[in-house]
Structure 1
Amino acid sequence: MQSFSDAYSIDTQSDYQKVGGKAHHLSILSKIGGIHVPEWFPIPCQIMKAFCIENNLLTDIQYLNELAQDYQANESTIAILCRHIQEKIKQGTLNFQIAESILAKLKKIRNSEDDLVVVRSSGMIEDSTITSCAGLFDSILGLKTDEEVIDAIKSVWASGFNERVILQKSKFFSSLIDFEMGVVVQKFIQPKAAGVASTLVLENGFPAYEISANYGIGTSIVDGSIQPDTWRVDKKRGIILEQILGTKNEFHHFDQHEKLIVSKENQKDQEKFCLNRNEIKKVCEALRKIEDVYLKPIDVEFGIDPQGELYIFQTRALVENQSTTLLTIDRNETKSHVLLGEGNYAIPGVATGRLVYVESWSQLSSGQIKLTDQDILIAHLTTNVWTSYLDKVKGIITCEGSP
């Protein structure tokens, strides 16, 4: 008979269907030259399914699956059942052979018994191209003992059965029973500064590197407890387009007892940026290398250790949206084109369309000229009375003007 450990080997290849979204992306990340990733290993999704079978959870999950077919009608019952399943998972027993295999791999990524590790979720619907599910699953940092790691793995599995996750699962999966969660066990890096970064500006899609960071570990940014320092960097020339000094009134770190501490930041450090220009350059270079592999916008979580080494903890392709492409232009590139006119801008942006010159407001009010949503207005002067005629145009070019 095939043994349990043979059937559910944790040496499985890092295939998306086997290890989930986060581990899949870490596998890609680890193969990119010049990118430093803390040592890690995946626990495949099948291990969770086997655990649920051994701990008699399938009947509860089957019932939850039936209720989730009409989530709104069964919301209160789902909430109760979710808490019940979560508790059974946390109190469940992990197969001895599997536990031993996990601990053997854990030993390989530690340089000493004092090294801390992180246990992260790696769900099938996590960090995909259609949904990120950011913040729905647990990640547990600063783990030291073998017992803490095993308990954290079960807690991460249990986080797959909170009500918000079930709602998301019901949208993307026909059966919750077919859903298993992978887990990532990763060596913990105690950074002097950490944050998140992306290859576009998230609020408007502008194609620049966007970096947000704070002192200490990145949880203060992820949980939104502070206003971080932010930089937006030109992707072609590496020039900082904008930098915003955050309040950074607190930072998170682990003390000598492996306890997460929230400390108040001193005023001197608050009044300066937590990353220097060389560190910003390192983050941008890492973003470029990763985006060159993905060929689409990505974001990362990163940390910089006390020696100045940049580590990328995780990455994902950003969820695609249906917004129109944002048009941009490089001022240096305009030098090779014929200059039609120049001036100061009130609102930055780029547009293409039909240029329509309007000499006076009466041409609009009389209907002599009718502007469309494909037009760019050119006028010597605009005033407030023009407003009702300008709400749909792509752009406005004036010497003087309101709005």
Structure 2
Amino acid sequence: MSTANHNHYILAFDQATEADHPRMGGKCASLARMIAAGVSVPSGFAVLTDAYGEFLETPGLRDDLAAMIASIDVDNVADEALKAAAIRERICSTPLPAHIETAIRAAYLEMSPDNDLPVAVRSSATAEDLPDASFAGQQDTYLWVTGADDVVTQVRACWASLFNARAISYRVKNKLGQLDVLMSVAVQKMVNAKAAGVAMTLDPINGDRTKIVIDSAFGLGEPVVSGEITPDNFVVEKVMMQVTKRRIVEKDHELVADRALRKTVDRVIEPERRTLPSLTDAQVIEVAQLAKSLERKMGCPQDVEWAIDADLPDGENLVALQSRPETVWSQKKAPSASKTYSMGIEGVLGTLLSPLTAKN
């Protein structure tokens, strides 16, 4: 994809360098890194943070937003929700600068000359997916977006989602400036997923890095990522690449692409398919190998979003949609050597002295 005529507002994922990543936000930078590492990722482009930053300079907009933000009582849930909605409406009702809108339209039309390619429009904030300040998932994603008009609309809606109540509270708690966090937006070819989910390269229950844990469901992965459904669960031993545990649940609905309606729909799963596993054992291992590879390439435990694309042939249909650093167990500090030694000696002494203590 060529973006030579889109100046500094648009950048194709496959053209990004490490120097571009700060302007791409967490999600887009991750997509660019995966493509550079040879991982199969749906094609697309980033609307860079420069576009959002310039949009904020629309006459009167920054001052209005600052005043609206300052009036929020974050300890009052109802007040915060009401004012957050007003902020989002202010953003969504403000036209984009003409040259930025033109750049977005041109980039989409390069992907889709017929102006009908379904894409996912995904938020990618600059403070997203950081090990010490991760608010991945707090901003919006729009699926099965078609046509340049809708792409432009949903890019602006992604910017507005920076100001949902949850994100505002998170930034207050973590002392992140409300107008200092910038956003890039990913515009990415839509995946027609027959199964999708997440894979973690450690056990999220106990931090065991010898395991890969996979959650999977039929259809698109958003219900799995958001926690809306109970997914199938698989545990894979990381060295031998063997499935050691599987839990198959009854799945009564799936989020799928409806080509006739040109949108995603929540579809009831036919009874005979509800108790079937969403992945074969071979597919489980394939997902585990992808996750293990990403952990090795990125240098730390990963939380990977993936999908199996029904439009691609077997063996080529597993794609990565996101890979971010795992942020719970990775932040737990290992005990120092001196502390470990102390605890060991104390444990030995405790065992030796316990009979004496019992006699006193």
Q: TM-score, normalised by structure 1?
A: 0.75
Q: Which residue, 296, 302, 319 being the options, matches 2:300? A: 296
Q: Which residue, 227, 246, 254 being the options, matches 1:224? A: 227
Higher-helix-fraction structure:
2
Distance 2:266 2:327 in 1: 32
The residue type equivalent to 1:10 in the other structure is: I
Distance 1:76 1:126 in 2: 26
1:211 matched residue in structure 2: 214
1:40 matched residue in structure 2: 44
The residue type equivalent to 1:152 in the other structure is: Q
Q: Which range moved further: 207-216 or 6-15?
A: 6-15
Distance 1:190 1:130 in 2: 34
Q: Is contact 1:233–1:242 with CA below 8 Å preserved after alignment?
A: yes
Note closer, same or farther for the CA distance 1:50–1:274 as it changes in structure 2 (3 Å cut).
Answer: same
The sequence identity of aligned pairs, in percent, is 26
The residue type equivalent to 1:31 in the other structure is: A
Task: Give the unaligned 5+ runs of structure 1.
Answer: 327-351, 368-403
For residue 11 of structure 1, report the CA deviation from its aligned partner. Answer: 3.8
The residue type equivalent to 2:240 in the other structure is: R
Higher relative contact order (CA 8 A, sep 6+): 2
1:245 matched residue in structure 2: 248
Note closer, same or farther for the CA distance 1:162–1:357 as it changes in structure 2 (3 Å cut).
Answer: closer
The residue type equivalent to 1:239 in the other structure is: Q
1:329 matched residue in structure 2: none
Distance 1:182 1:80 in 2: 25
| 1:100-115 pair list within 5 angstroms | 100-110=102-112, 113-115=115-117
For residue 230 of structure 1, report the CA deviation from its aligned partner. Answer: 0.7
1:144 matched residue in structure 2: 146
The residue type equivalent to 1:366 in the other structure is: K
For residue 295 of structure 1, report the CA deviation from its aligned partner. Answer: 1.5
Q: Which residue, 254, 267, 290 being the options, matches 1:263? A: 267
> Which secondary structure state, in structure 2, belongs to the residue aligned with residue 160 of structure 1?
helix
Distance 2:59 2:204 in 1: 43
1:175 matched residue in structure 2: 177
For residue 365 of structure 1, report the CA deviation from its aligned partner. Answer: 3.6
Task: Give the unaligned 5+ runs of structure 2.
Answer: 336-343
CA displacement 1:11-40 (0-9 Å, x = unmatched): 49563431211111111111112x210001
2:54 matched residue in structure 1: 50
Distance 1:76 1:229 in 2: 36
1:63 matched residue in structure 2: 67
Q: Is contact 2:200–2:302 with CA below 8 Å preserved after alignment?
A: yes
For residue 174 of structure 1, report the CA deviation from its aligned partner. Answer: 5.2
Distance 1:185 1:282 in 2: 26
Note closer, same or farther for the CA distance 1:64–1:19 as it changes in structure 2 (3 Å cut).
Answer: farther
1:22 matched residue in structure 2: 27
Q: Is contact 1:32–1:289 with CA below 8 Å preserved after alignment?
A: no
Distance 2:169 2:48 in 1: 23
CA displacement 1:287-330 (0-9 Å, x = unmatched): 1111112211111111101233101011111115454669xxxx
Distance 2:291 2:9 in 1: 33
| 1:108-147 pair list within 5 angstroms | 108-110=110-112, 113-147=115-149
For residue 100 of structure 1, report the CA deviation from its aligned partner. Answer: 1.8
| 1:372-387 pair list within 5 angstroms | none
Q: Is contact 2:143–2:263 with CA below 8 Å preserved after alignment?
A: no
RMSD across aligned positions (CA): 3.0
The residue type equivalent to 1:280 in the other structure is: V
1:254 matched residue in structure 2: 257
2:9 matched residue in structure 1: 9
Q: Is contact 1:18–1:46 with CA below 8 Å preserved after alignment?
A: yes
For residue 247 of structure 1, report the CA deviation from its aligned partner. Answer: 1.7
Larger Rg: 1
2:340 matched residue in structure 1: none
> Which secondary structure state, in structure 1, belongs to the residue aligned with residue 10 of structure 2?
coil
For residue 261 of structure 1, report the CA deviation from its aligned partner. Answer: 1.6
The residue type equivalent to 1:303 in the other structure is: A
2:359 matched residue in structure 1: 366
2:324 matched residue in structure 1: 316
Distance 2:253 2:79 in 1: 40
Note closer, same or farther for the CA distance 1:271–1:364 as it changes in structure 2 (3 Å cut).
Answer: farther
CA displacement 1:90-143 (0-9 Å, x = unmatched): 112112222221122112334864421000001122111113213310000011
Q: TM-score, normalised by structure 2?
A: 0.83
Q: Is contact 2:196–2:307 with CA below 8 Å preserved after alignment?
A: yes
The residue type equivalent to 1:292 in the other structure is: R
For residue 168 of structure 1, report the CA deviation from its aligned partner. Answer: 1.7
